[in-house]
Amino acid sequence: MNFKKILIIIFLFNSIFTKSFSLEPSIFVQSTVNRASDILSKNIIKEEKINQLKIIAKETVDIKGVGFYSLGSARKNLNDNQKERYSKLFEDYFLKSFSSRLAEYTNPQIEVINKEVLNKNYTIVNSLLVATENRPEVKIDWRIYTKNPDNPLIRDLIIEGLSLARTQKEEFSSILNSNDGDINALFETLKEFSKN
């Protein structure tokens, strides 16, 4: 009897727990944007802003996934050691590039307006970056990876229809092509970028 009770309690606890932590992609995007916006509007030095933005990026972006997407077909030729090395180099590169780009904005206002479920793995969340004196309104779509609904992750930002992940993929492809497909050349470029 006691065992049955325990099972029921575990079942109930589990279902409540799962429901309360399953994050709706549009709410996930809005809360991520709000967190970033709070940091950007703080009266702290740029380096501190960058460090705090990096923490948000680590929690909310599928950096490993974006990294392998950016490699394109070249990812199929990597051995396990190279994959590990690449993931580390890409994370450093990505965090630097992403946070430096964001740190230039002061208190950006982003409003989530819609979402479109593509399949069980992907939802596109549509948002608007509100216009300022110097810049017109900008449409930003977020490709959210929802395979694990409890832990949605950002995989791409699509600004006015232009995909950042796709741009990065073509940039990496260009570096590989101009170095006869040598992956070490890409490793060196990523390392140099993160160092500077």
Partner 1 sequence: MLMFRKLIIVLVTILISGFNANAGSDGELIIKKNQPAEIKDCFETVNRATFAFNQALDGAIFKPISSAYRVLPSPVKSGVSNSLENLSNLVTIPNNVLQGEFKKAGINSGRFVINTTVGILGFINVAEYLGFPEYEKEDYGQSLATMGVSPGCYLVLPVLGPSTVRDTTASVANFIGGDAWYNVTVNNDTQYFSDFDYYASRITSGVDFRAKNFDAIENLEQNSIDFYASVKSLYLQDRQQKILNTNKVIETQNDSDWEEIETQ
* Separation of alpha carbons 22 and 148, rounded Å: 9
Asked if 68 is part of the footprint of partner 1 (rule: CB under 8 A), the reply reads yes
Asked if 155 is part of the footprint of partner 1 (rule: CB under 8 A), the reply reads yes
How far is the CA of 135 from the CAs of 37, 40, 123, 129, in angstroms?
Answer: 17, 17, 28, 10
Q: Which stretch binds partner 1 (CB under 8 A): 11-19, 20-28, 41-49, 159-167?
A: 159-167
Characterize the bridge pairing of strands 122-129 and 162-163: unpaired
* Separation of alpha carbons 188 and 110, rounded Å: 36
Asked if 143 is part of the footprint of partner 1 (rule: CB under 8 A), the reply reads yes
Q: Which residue in the set 5, 20, 79, 133 belongs to the binding site for partner 1 (CB under 8 A)?
A: 133
Q: Which residue in the set 19, 43, 134, 180 belongs to the binding site for partner 1 (CB under 8 A)?
A: 134
Q: Which stretch binds partner 1 (CB under 8 A): 10-18, 20-28, 38-46, 187-195?
A: 187-195
Asked if 148 is part of the footprint of partner 1 (rule: CB under 8 A), the reply reads yes
* CA atoms lying within 13 Å on the CB side of residue 41: 9
